[in-house]
Amino acid sequence: MSKQMTGAEMVVEALKDQGADTLFGYPGGAVLPIYDAIFQQNFVKHVLVRHEQGAAHAAEGYARSSGKVGVLLVTSGPGATNTVTGLTDALMDSIPLVCITGQVPTHLIGSDAFQECDTVGITRHCTKHNYLVRSIEDLPRILHEAFYVASSGRPGPVVIDIPKDVQFATGTYHGPKNIQHKTYQPQVKGDLAKIRHAVEMMAAAKKPVFYTGGGVINSGPEASALLCELVKLTGFPITSTLMGLGAYPASGSNWLGMLGMHGTYEANHTMHDCDLMIAVGARFDDRITGRLDAFSPGSKKIHIDIDPSSINKNVKVDLGVIGDVAHVLEDMVRIWRTSAPQVDAGALKQWWKQIDTWRERKSLAYRPSKETIKPQHAIQRLYELTKDRDTYITTEVGQHQMWAAQHYHFEKPNRWMTSGGLGTMGYGLPAAIGVQMAHPQALVIDIAGEASVLMNMQEMSTALQYRLPVKIFILNNEYMGMVRQWQELLHGGRYSESYSEALPDFVKLAEAYGAVGIRCSDPDKLDDAIMEMINSPKAVIFDCVVEKAENCFPMIPSGKAHNEMILAELSDDAGVEIGSIIDERGKLLV
C-alpha cells in the first residue's frame, strides 16, 4: 500500500482511494504540480468551472445529490478567496466538501509573496476544519483525515492548503486504512434509555408532530426510509424544514407541507398547538421558530441530532438524543414495534380533525390569471410535467425558491438542492452542474430568479463544455422579488434598488453560450414551452416571464408567532396595511 511519490501524485492517489472520481476546479500557479498529476491519469474527472465560487457550489450539488463528498481544487490567493462564499454555504447547510487549495512555497509563507493569502486564517471560520500541510510526511494522513472529518458526524467543508514545495516533494504514500481519528469521534448511536423514554412520551402524546430537517437527508436514504416507517407506525403528522424536503414523500397522507416563515398554515399551526414535538435532524432555525418566546408554547420537545451544540441552542428541549438519525430511528422503530404502545387513538383522531380544518384554509392558494403567468402556476406546471421523470431540482435564492419549495413536491431524498442557511444567490446554476455530473442521465433543473442566476451565469460555459443538459428555469419578475416584497411590507413600498434594470435578453444569452433559449409569457403556451425545454438534449435557459408584483404567501412576519401568519386572502384586500402587521421589533429582524 505504501508507495513513493510526489505530493501532487498523492493528492490524485488519495482521491482515487476515497472514491472521489469527480473534481471541480480552476488552475493557477500554486496548483500546477497537481494539475500535472491530473493530466497523467484517467480516474479522476476534472470539471473546469469558470469561477471558483462555482466550483464550490458544484461540489455541493454533487455531494447533496449523491451522498458523497464533493471535491474542489483551486489555486492560492484569489482562487482560495473566491471559494469562501461556497465554503460558508456548505458549513451552514452541513454539506461535506474537501477543498484543496494551493499555497505559496513554505519558505515564502508570511512574506506577502505573489498570490499569497492566509488561507487557513481566512477559512477557519467558514470550514468545519482546515489544514496547512507543512511537510510531505503529513500529507497522506491529512488527505484521508479531511475526507473523514468532512463526512462524519455533522458534515461540513474541510480545506487542505498545500504549499507548492510540498506538492513537488517526494514522500511515502499511505492508503486510508481504518484511520482512527485522535480526537474527532462523533457519537452515532443514541442512548437507548433516552430512546425508550422518547417512545413513552410519543405513546402518551395527544397532539404530536414530527418536525424533520436536513439531518435526515445527511444521514442517508436509510434514514428517510426509517422515518417513513415511524410515521406510518405512529400515525403522527409530519412537517419538514426547507432542508429536509423529500425525506418523507409529499404524497404521503401524513404530510403537512413545509413549515416556517413561508410554510403552510397547517404545518405552522400544528407546530404551535402540539403537545409533543419530535425534532429530527433540524436545528430550530429562526425561519422556523419565529418569535422564540411564542414558539410552540405548550409542547414537550424531543430533539434527535448528531451535534450536541444543536440541542438547546435556540429552544430548550425536554429530551435531547444525540446520535445519527438513521441509527436512532432504527432503535426507535424497533422499540416502538416490540413495546407496541397503546396510543390515545381518540385524541389522535381529534388532532387530525383539527389539522384538517387548518388544511381547509388552503394556504398555498393564489389568484390565478389568464393574462400573465403566475409564478406559482409555472412551478405547478413544471412539477406536473417533470414529476414522472428522474428529476433533480436546484434553486437560486428568493421568492422563486420559496415557490419551488411550496409547489414542487418531492417524493425522495437528495432530489432538492437549495441554499438554506446562507441563502446564497448564484448557488443554483453551479449546483445543477454538480448534480448533473453525479447523475448524467437525469433531468436537472435550476429553478431561478433573474437576479440570482446572473451571479454565476458564467457557469453556462462549464455546462456547455461538458455537454451537461441542465435546464435553467427563470421565474423572471424583473425584480429582486424577495427584496421587493419586504420593501412593500416593511418600508412603505419604497423599492430601493430592487428593480432588475438592464437585464440581458436571456434567449440571446443562451444562444451566445451555445445553449438553447426559450421564452414564454403566455399561460396558454406554458406547457408546450416546458415540454420543449425538457425534450431538448442541450442546456436550456428558459425565460419564464411572470407576474411582477406577486408576493410569496403564506408568511409569518418577522418577530411573530406561528399562529399569526399572513395569508394570501388577507393580503389582497389589506394592501398597504400589511406594513402595520409587522411591528418595530419585527423590522429589526432579518
Partner 1 sequence: MNAPTLNPPPPPPSPYSSALGKANIEQHTLSVLVDNEPGVLARVVGLFSGRGYNIESLTVAEVAHGEHLSRITIVTSGPPEAIEQIGHQLERLVPIHKVTDLTLHARAIERELAMVKVRGKGDDRVEALRLADAFRARVIDATTESFVFELTGNADKIDQFVELMRPIGLVEVSRTGVAAISRGPEPI
Ligand X SMILES: Cc1cc2nc3c(=O)[nH]c(=O)nc-3n(C[C@H](O)[C@H](O)[C@H](O)COP(=O)(O)OP(=O)(O)OC[C@H]3O[C@@H](n4cnc5c(N)ncnc54)[C@H](O)[C@@H]3O)c2cc1C
DSSP, collapsed to helix, strand or coil, labels residue 459 as: helix
By the rule CB under 5 A, 426 interacts with Mg ion: no
| Least distance to Mg ion, CB of residue 479, Å | 5
Kindly name the residue from 103, 116, 128, 164 that is annotated as catalytic. Answer: 164
Binding track, positions 415-444, relative to ligand TPP; x by CB under 6 A: --------xxx-------------------
By the rule CB under 6 A, 475 interacts with ligand TPP: yes
Contacting ligand TPP within 440-469 (CB under 6 A): 449-452
Angle of the 84-92 helix axis to the 52-66 helix axis, nearest 10: 30
Q: Is residue 399 among the annotated active site residues?
A: no
- 145, 181 in Cβ contact below 8 A? yes
| Least distance to partner 1, CB of residue 136, Å | 17
> Cα-flanking dihedrals φ and ψ of residue 380, to 5°?
-60, -45
| Least distance to partner 1, CB of residue 153, Å | 9
Helix (H) / strand (E) element for 392: namely strand 391-395
In 3D, which of 588, 362, 568 has the Cα closest to residue 578? Answer: 568
Binding track, positions 244-283, relative to partner 1; x by CB under 8 A: ----------------------------------------
Q: Is residue 229 among the annotated active site residues?
A: no
Kindly name the residue from 9, 13, 24, 52 that is annotated as catalytic. Answer: 52
> Cα-flanking dihedrals φ and ψ of residue 377, to 5°?
-65, -40
Residue 255 C-alpha cell reads as 404530510
Nearest-CB residue to Mg ion?
449
Kindly name the residue from 271, 482, 533, 555 that is annotated as catalytic. Answer: 482
- 255, 410 in Cβ contact below 8 A? no
By the rule CB under 6 A, 397 interacts with ligand TPP: yes
Helix (H) / strand (E) element for 160: namely strand 157-163
Q: How far apart are CA 213 and CA 286, in angstroms?
A: 14
Q: Is residue 16 among the annotated active site residues?
A: no
Nearer to ligand TPP, 157 or 398 (CB): 398
Angle made by CA atoms 559, 561, 566, in degrees to the nearest 5 = 90
Q: Is residue 52 among the annotated active site residues?
A: yes
Residue length of the chain = 590
In 3D, which of 402, 368, 387 has the Cα closest to residue 264? Answer: 402
Nearer to ligand TPP, 289 or 477 (CB): 477
Q: How far apart are CA 208 and CA 225, in angstroms?
A: 20
Nearest-CB residue to ligand X?
214
> Cα-flanking dihedrals φ and ψ of residue 175, to 5°?
-75, 180
Q: How far apart are CA 147 and CA 26, in angstroms?
A: 20
Q: Three-state secondary structure along 111-141?
A: CCCCCCCCHHHHHHHHCCEEEECCCHHHHHH
Nearer to ligand TPP, 139 or 546 (CB): 546
| Stretch touching partner 1 by CB under 8 A, among 251-259, 288-296, 371-379, 384-392 | 288-296
Nearer to ligand X, 251 or 314 (CB): 314
By the rule CB under 5 A, 449 interacts with Mg ion: yes
| Chosen residue from 481, 523, 557, 559 binding Mg ion by CB under 5 A | 481
By the rule CB under 5 A, 487 interacts with Mg ion: no
Residue 48 C-alpha cell reads as 473546469
Binding residues for ligand X, rule: CB under 6 A, are: 93-94, 154, 213-215, 218-219, 241-244, 258-263, 281-283, 285, 287-288, 305-307, 310, 324-325, 397, 401-402, 420-421, 423, 482
Q: How far apart are CA 224 and CA 473, in angstroms?
A: 28
Contacting ligand TPP within 293-332 (CB under 6 A): none
Residue 484: alpha-carbon gap to chain centroid: 24
The listed partner (partner 1, ligand X, ligand TPP, none) that binds 179, CB under 5 to 8 Å by sort, is: none
Question: What is the gyration radius of the CA atoms in the chain, in angstroms?
Answer: 24
By the rule CB under 8 A, 291 interacts with partner 1: yes
Q: Is residue 266 among the annotated active site residues?
A: no
By the rule CB under 8 A, 141 interacts with partner 1: no
Contacting partner 1 within 183-222 (CB under 8 A): 183-184
By the rule CB under 8 A, 110 interacts with partner 1: no
Place of cell 468545519: 128
> Cα-flanking dihedrals φ and ψ of residue 274, to 5°?
-65, 160
- How many residues touch partner 1 under the rule CB under 8 A: the total is 30
- Annotated active-site positions, please? 52, 114-115, 164, 482
Residues that bind ligand TPP (CB under 6 A): 396-400, 423-425, 449-452, 475, 477, 479-483
Q: Kindly list the residues in this chain that would bind Mg ion in the complex (CB under 5 A).
A: 449-450, 477, 481
